[in-house]
Amino acid sequence: MNFFLDRQEAGMQLAEKLSKYQNQDCIVLAVPRGGVVVAYEVAKKLHFPMDVILAKKI
């Protein structure tokens, strides 16, 4: 089981695991309340565009 110091570190580690997709046409989608920080690190490291998806509870 992996533990992270913070969401930024989690995003950096996730980006390393997703590095095989670096030369493909991708976009990183982030979910607010924690996911934006993780997604930002992935998008920055892999040079992908990033967008935020907003969801509403039903």
2 is a domain residue: no
Whether residue 35 lies inside any domain: the answer is yes
2 has pLDDT over 80 = no
pLDDT at 41: 97
Q: How many domains does the chain have?
A: 1
Tell me the one-letter amino acid at 48.
F
Residue 57 lies inside a defined structural domain of this protein: no
Query: In this predicted model, what pLDDT tens digit does every residue of 14-56 receive, in sequence order?
Result: 999 999 999 899 999 999 988 999 999 999 999 999 999 998 8
Contact of 52 with 22, CB cutoff 8 Å: no
Torsion sign over Cα 11, 32, 26, 44: negative
Query: For position 1, what pLDDT does the model report?
Result: 63
Q: Is residue 1 part of a domain?
A: no
